[in-house]
Amino acid sequence: MPLRSYKPTSPGLRGMTRSTFEEITTREAYKPLLEPQKRPSGRNNAGRLTVRHRGGGEKQHYRRIDFKRDKHGVPARLATIEYDPNRSARIGLLHYRDGDKRYMLLPHGLRVGDVVLAGPTAEARVGNALPISNIPLGTTIHNIELVPGRGGQIVRSAGAAAQLLAKEGEFAQVRMPSGEVRRLSVKCMATVGQVSNLDHENQNLGKAGRARHLGQRPEVRGVAMTPRDHPHGGGEGKSPTGMPPKTPWGKPAMGYRTRRAKTTGRLIVRSRHRK
């Protein structure tokens, strides 16, 4: 899935790179698995703005993805590889032997016509989903459950992959893409392989218009504002912030610890924050 660059016939094209989409096999989505969705534009259920710099963008339909992979023992053939505007990874349409059709997150290396299987009896190869207890140590996995039966919740973005390090009793140790080592129940399901679209992180939007198409609105630097609008504002000419970075409301801009979940904190073997 390489990237394509453009001749600099305009300032916006000079640095722009985008996917070649050569792995995509169809432009038409499977309509029974589409849902209409309304863009929240960064607002909560009360209509208040809770996330800034969101809004606009192209209208999109949501694709229902089978994160649970709970059709155990039924072989499925990968029929099409499609673009999903709601996520960075590619998706694939599975045609099950019993006639059912579902979308799955596409693993890297899976091709149209390949057969995948889910369940405890499945072989540990790319695209198959099975419990962690049945996956060999050292295997690369993604779309991992945190609670058995709830469906994959972590390691789902483009190019992401975790590694199974150890198994001991009821728990297994998995190294996340962030470097965190976490204990998970061996009953949790995971899909073998790495998520597709590895070059997603190397793309350059090139111009502000592409950001607007994605629903990203402009950001203004705090140092360019007045003191009443931002803690970094004010001063004559270009001036330093004079403080650790802050949000417009005075909170630490680089984040601060908010984790209070003591029950799940005990499952973290090695923190991703540790040097």
What pLDDT is attached to residue 274?
75
Does 275 have pLDDT greater than 70?
Answer: no
Q: Are strands 34-36 and 162-168 parallel, antiparallel or unpaired?
A: unpaired
Domain boundaries, the chain: 3-201, 220-275
pLDDT band at 1 (very low <50, low <70, confident <90, very high): low
Q: Cβ distance 239 to 225 under 8 Å?
A: no
For residue 208, what is the enclosing H or E element?
helix 208-213
What pLDDT is attached to residue 211?
96
Does 64 have pLDDT greater than 70?
Answer: yes
Angle at 115 between CA 113 and CA 116, to 5 degrees: 140
Please give the mean pLDDT across all residues of the chain. Answer: 94
Q: What is the pLDDT of residues 120-141, one digit of tens each?
A: 999 999 999 999 999 999 999 9
Residue type, 164: L
Average pLDDT over residues 228-251: 94
E strands in the chain:
3-5, 17-19, 34-36, 61-63, 76-82, 91-96, 101-105, 115-116, 129-131, 140-142, 144-145, 152-154, 162-168, 171-175, 181-185, 189-192, 268-270
Regarding pTM above 0.75, the answer is yes
220-275 CATH pick, 3.30.1330.10, 4.10.950.10, 3.30.160.150, 3.20.20.70: 4.10.950.10
| C-alpha span between 18 and 11 (Å, rounded) | 16
Q: Which two tokens stand for residue 50?
A: 């809770």
Q: What is the pLDDT of residues 254-274, one digit of tens each?
A: 988 887 877 778 899 998 887
Q: Which CATH class is domain 3-201?
A: mainly beta
Q: Cβ distance 175 to 163 under 8 Å?
A: yes
Could you identify the residue written with the tokens 């259920």?
A: 45
